[in-house]
Chains A and B, each alone.
Chain A
Amino acid sequence: MIMPLLRRLGQTVFVLFGISALVFAVFFATPGADPTARIAGRNAAPQTMEKVRKEYGFDRPLPVQYAIMMKKLFITRDLASYANRGELVVPEIMRAAPVTLSLVSGAAVIWVVLSIGMGVVAAACKGSWIDRTLMMAGLVGISIPVFWLGQVVNLITQNRYHDTWLFSWVPGLGYVPFTQSPCGWFLALVIPWCVLAVMFVGIYSRILRADLVAIMGEDFIRTARAKGLSPTRILLRHGLRTALITFVSLFGMDFAQLVGGGALLTEVVFGLPGVGRLTYQALNSLDLPLIMATVMYSAVFVVLANALVDAAYLFLDPRVRDAH
C-alpha cells in the first residue's frame, strides 16, 4: 500500500512541476512582446518597467525567472498586481474562493442527483420514448453555451417575468455570504446553480446511461437475474454501483476544474465575485499576474483533486486496489 501511494505522490509532484513550467512558459516565454510590458500593464511608465524587470528577474536566464515566479506565488505570496495599484494577488484569490466553492458545490449536488436519476431512468426504459426524450434533453443541455443560458435566464427571472409569482422571489444579481444570511445565500445561488448544472446534467446522464446499458449486457447482470433478484435491485445494486466507478472519476475531474476557475462564465453572467470573475476582471484590465496566479492555483487544485479521485477509486473498485 505504501509503494503505490509514493509512486502516485511522485507523479503528482511531477505533474505539478510540469504545469507550473507550462503556465510560466505561456506567460513569459511566448514569442512576441517583452514580458515586462505584459506584467506592467498598458502604458506603464519607464520606471515601473525597470522595477518589474528587476523584481521578476527578466534580465536573468529563464530558470531563474521561473524560480522567482514560483517563490512569489507559493512561498512569499507577495505577487502584486500592477494594473490594480499593487494589490496582492494571492489573498485576493483566497477571498474569492468561497464564492466559487459555494457555486460549484451546489451545482454539483444538482447535477449528480439529476444525472443519476435521468441516466438510470433512461437506461431502465432503454429504447422507449422516455429514453429518447431524456437523452435528447441531455444533448440540448450540452449544446447550450452557459453564458448565453445565464443571460436568457436573467432576462426571464430578473426582468420579463420577475413580477409574476413564479420568479418574484429571485433576488438581484450578486452574492450573499453564507455567514451573513444562509437563506439569502441560497436564494442568490439557486439560479446560478441550475444554470451551471445544465451542461453537466447532459454530459453525465448520457455517459451514465451509456455505461449502464453496456453494463446491463454483462455476464454478472445475467447472474444477478438468475439469482431471482428484483429488477430494481439488479439495476441499482449491481448495475449502478459498477457504473459509478467511471462516474465518480469524471466527477472528480470536472468538480476540480470548476472550482479551479472553470465556472468563470457563470460567475461573470450572474455577477458572483468568485475566482472566475476575478480572472475576468483581470482580463479586462490586462492584469497578467492575477491571471497567471489564478491559472496556477486552479491547476494545482485540479492535480490535487485528481490524486483524491484516484484515492476514491481505490475504495470504489476492488480490482484497482489489487492492481498495484
Chain B
Amino acid sequence: MTKPSNTHRPSAGPWASALRSLLRNRAALASVAVLAFIVVASLCAPFYARHVAHTDPFVSNVAGTIMLNGQETDIMQPNDNPLHLGLSPIGPTGHTAYLLGADSQGRDIMARLLYGGRNSLLISFSAAVLCLVMAGTVGIAAGFFGGVTDMVLSRLMDIMWAVPVYLFAISLSIVTITSGLRIGPFVIEADNLLIPIVIIALVYVPYAARPVRGRVIALRQAEFVTAARCLGVPRWRIVLRDILPNVSTTLVVMGPLLMAMALLAESALSFLSIGVQAPAASWGTIILDGEGLIYTRPMVAIAPGLAIVAVVLALNILGDGLRDALDVRDASRRE
C-alpha cells in the first residue's frame, strides 16, 4: 500500500478560483478601476480644495470674486434675462477654480463634489458593512438555532420588510434628526454621520438576512455539520468554523450590492434633507442644492448625479461579477 503522497498540492480554494475568474471579467475589472479612481479622488478632496481650487467649500462666498483669464469675475452673476434681475452663481469655468461652477451660496461645486464623495462613500460603505454584520448575525442565529429564536427573528424581519424601505428610513431619520439620539450617557448629535449609517444599515437588514438564513438552514442539514455535532464540537465552534466560512461567499457577494443600495438610500435621504446635515456635503445634498438651479445652472445637480450613477453602476457590475465568480445564486437581487 502506498502512503498518501506528500507532494499533494491543495487545489485552489474557492476564493482563489473566484479571484481568478473575476480577473478574467473585464467589466468587473473596469468597475473596480472606476471605483478606485472615485475613492482616490474623494480622498484628495482637502488637497484639491486647498491647493488646486483655493476655495473653502463649506463657507458661503456670495460676495466673492475669482480671477478668470486675468479678469476679476463675480461669483454671483446677473441673470441672463433682459432686465438682469436676480443673481445666478457662476457656471462651469473650465479653470481649476470653480471648475464646475458655484452653487447658490457661491461655493465651489467641484470641491464640494469631492468632499461629498467622501461622505457618501463613507456612509454607504460603513452602512453596507454594518448591515452585513447585523444581517449575518441575525441570519445565522435564526438559521442555525431555529426554534423560538428563528421564529422571533423571522417575524421581526417580516415586520420590518413590510414597511417601505424609504419610509422606514425617513421615520427613523426624522425622529433622530430633530433631537439627536440619547442612549443613557451617550449622546449622538443630529449631524453625526453615525445616524444615517446606522439607519441605512438597519433598514436593509431584512433584505440581507433572508438569503443568509436560507443558506444557513441548508448548511445546518449538511453532513459535515451533522458530523461536527456528533463529534461534540461546541455550537459556537461549529458556527465559526463550519457555518461562517460557507456563508461568507453569500455575504461577500451581497456587499457591493448593499453598498449600491445604501448609496442610493443615502442620497435620497440627503436629498430630502434628513441625511447628511449642512454644511457638510454629500452627493445627495448637492443635488438638493442644485434643485433650485436646475434650469439655470444644471451642472450643480447633474455632476453629483453622474457620480452616483457611476459608483452605483460600478458596484452593481462588481456585485454581478462576484456572484458569477463565487457562484452564489441566492444573494439579494432586490433594489
A touches B in complex, CB < 8 A: yes
Asked if A199 and B335 sit within 8 Å, CB to CB, the answer is: yes
Asked if A286 and B178 sit within 8 Å, CB to CB, the answer is: yes
The complex places the Cα of A143 from the Cα of B257 at a distance, in Å, of 11
Which residues on A sit within 8 Å (CB–CB) of B309?
140, 143-145, 148
Which residues on A sit within 8 Å (CB–CB) of B291?
151
Q: A38-B175, A199-B335 are in contact. Are A298 and B181 (CB under 8 A)?
A: no
Which residues on A sit within 8 Å (CB–CB) of B172?
26, 30
Asked if B182 and A152 sit within 8 Å, CB to CB, the answer is: no
Q: A143-B313, A199-B335, A294-B167 are in contact. Are A283 and B181 (CB under 8 A)?
A: no
Question: Could you list some 21 contacts between A and B, CB below 8 A?
Answer: A19-B159, A22-B163, A31-B183, A33-B179, A38-B178, A139-B316, A143-B309, A145-B264, A148-B308, A152-B301, A250-B334, A257-B165, A264-B167, A264-B170, A265-B166, A279-B167, A283-B170, A283-B174, A283-B274, A288-B174, A302-B164
Q: A19-B159, A155-B294, A262-B167 are in contact. Are A38 and B179 (CB under 8 A)?
A: yes
Is A23 an interface residue when CB atoms closer than 8 A count as contact?
yes
The complex places the Cα of A302 from the Cα of B159 at a distance, in Å, of 10
Asked if A23 and B163 sit within 8 Å, CB to CB, the answer is: yes
Which residues on A sit within 8 Å (CB–CB) of B317?
139
User: Could you give, for residues 254-277 of chain B, a 1 whenever the CB lies within 8 Å of some chain A CB and a 0 otherwise?
Assistant: 000000100010011001111000
Q: A288-B174, A299-B163 are in contact. Are A142 and B268 (CB under 8 A)?
A: no
Asked if A262 and B171 sit within 8 Å, CB to CB, the answer is: no
The complex places the Cα of A303 from the Cα of B273 at a distance, in Å, of 29
Which residues on B sit within 8 Å (CB–CB) of A257?
164-165
Interface centre among A30, A284, A294 (most CB of B within 10 A): A30
Which residues on A sit within 8 Å (CB–CB) of B273?
283-284
Taking a contact as CB atoms closer than 8 A, the residue among B168, B181, B264, B312 that contacts A30 in the complex is: B181
Is A292 an interface residue when CB atoms closer than 8 A count as contact?
yes
Question: What total of chain A residues lie within 8 Å of the partner, measured CB to CB?
Answer: 58
Is B56 an interface residue when CB atoms closer than 8 A count as contact?
no
Which residues on B sit within 8 Å (CB–CB) of A86?
none
Which residues on B sit within 8 Å (CB–CB) of A245?
none
Is A119 an interface residue when CB atoms closer than 8 A count as contact?
no
Interface centre among B155, B178, B290, B302 (most CB of A within 10 A): B178
Taking a contact as CB atoms closer than 8 A, the residue among A26, A143, A260, A279 that contacts B175 in the complex is: A26
Asked if B267 and A145 sit within 8 Å, CB to CB, the answer is: yes
Nearest residue in A to B163 (C-beta to C-beta)?
Answer: A299
The complex places the Cα of A306 from the Cα of B183 at a distance, in Å, of 35
Which residues on B sit within 8 Å (CB–CB) of A262?
164-167
Is B230 an interface residue when CB atoms closer than 8 A count as contact?
no
Is B162 an interface residue when CB atoms closer than 8 A count as contact?
yes
The complex places the Cα of A303 from the Cα of B159 at a distance, in Å, of 9
The 10 A-B residue pairs with the shortest CB-CB distance in the complex, in nearest-first order: A33-B179, A148-B305, A18-B159, A143-B312, A143-B313, A257-B164, A262-B164, A159-B295, A302-B162, A32-B182
Which residues on A sit within 8 Å (CB–CB) of B46?
none
Nearest residue in B to A199 (C-beta to C-beta)?
Answer: B335
The binding surface of chain A is classed by DSSP as helix
Which residues on B sit within 8 Å (CB–CB) of A314?
none
Which residues on A sit within 8 Å (CB–CB) of B217?
none
Asked if A14 and B175 sit within 8 Å, CB to CB, the answer is: no
Is A229 an interface residue when CB atoms closer than 8 A count as contact?
no
Nearest residue in A to B267 (C-beta to C-beta)?
Answer: A145
The complex places the Cα of A143 from the Cα of B182 at a distance, in Å, of 35
Asked if B294 and A26 sit within 8 Å, CB to CB, the answer is: no
Asked if A292 and B171 sit within 8 Å, CB to CB, the answer is: yes
Is B158 an interface residue when CB atoms closer than 8 A count as contact?
yes
Taking a contact as CB atoms closer than 8 A, the residue among A18, A38, A143, A147 that contacts B271 in the complex is: A147
Asked if B305 and A152 sit within 8 Å, CB to CB, the answer is: yes
Asked if A145 and B316 sit within 8 Å, CB to CB, the answer is: no
Which residues on B sit within 8 Å (CB–CB) of A268?
272
Is B78 an interface residue when CB atoms closer than 8 A count as contact?
no
Is B104 an interface residue when CB atoms closer than 8 A count as contact?
no
Which residues on A sit within 8 Å (CB–CB) of B260?
143
The complex places the Cα of A149 from the Cα of B264 at a distance, in Å, of 12
Is A37 an interface residue when CB atoms closer than 8 A count as contact?
yes
Which residues on A sit within 8 Å (CB–CB) of B165?
257, 262
Q: How far is the CB of A296 from chain B (nearest CB, A)?
A: 9
Q: A260-B167, A261-B164 are in contact. Are A27 and B175 (CB under 8 A)?
A: yes
Asked if B268 and A143 sit within 8 Å, CB to CB, the answer is: no
Is A295 an interface residue when CB atoms closer than 8 A count as contact?
yes
Which residues on A sit within 8 Å (CB–CB) of B176?
30, 32
Asked if B308 and A145 sit within 8 Å, CB to CB, the answer is: yes
Which residues on A sit within 8 Å (CB–CB) of B313?
139-140, 143
Interface centre among A23, A145, A154 (most CB of B within 10 A): A145
Q: How far is the CB of B96 from chain A (nearest CB, A)?
A: 26
Asked if B274 and A31 sit within 8 Å, CB to CB, the answer is: no
Is B153 an interface residue when CB atoms closer than 8 A count as contact?
no
Asked if A261 and B167 sit within 8 Å, CB to CB, the answer is: yes
Taking a contact as CB atoms closer than 8 A, the residue among A22, A32, A261 that contacts B181 in the complex is: A32
Which residues on A sit within 8 Å (CB–CB) of B178?
33, 38, 286
Asked if A265 and B268 sit within 8 Å, CB to CB, the answer is: yes
Asked if B287 and A148 sit within 8 Å, CB to CB, the answer is: yes
Q: A26-B175, A148-B287, A206-B333 are in contact. Are A155 and B164 (CB under 8 A)?
A: no
The complex places the Cα of A306 from the Cα of B158 at a distance, in Å, of 11
User: Could you give, for residues 78-113 of chain B, a 1 whenever the CB lies within 8 Å of some chain A CB and a 0 otherwise?
Assistant: 000000000000000000000000000000000000
Taking a contact as CB atoms closer than 8 A, the residue among A144, A148, A280 that contacts B301 in the complex is: A148
Asked if A264 and B166 sit within 8 Å, CB to CB, the answer is: yes
Nearest residue in B to A200 (C-beta to C-beta)?
Answer: B335
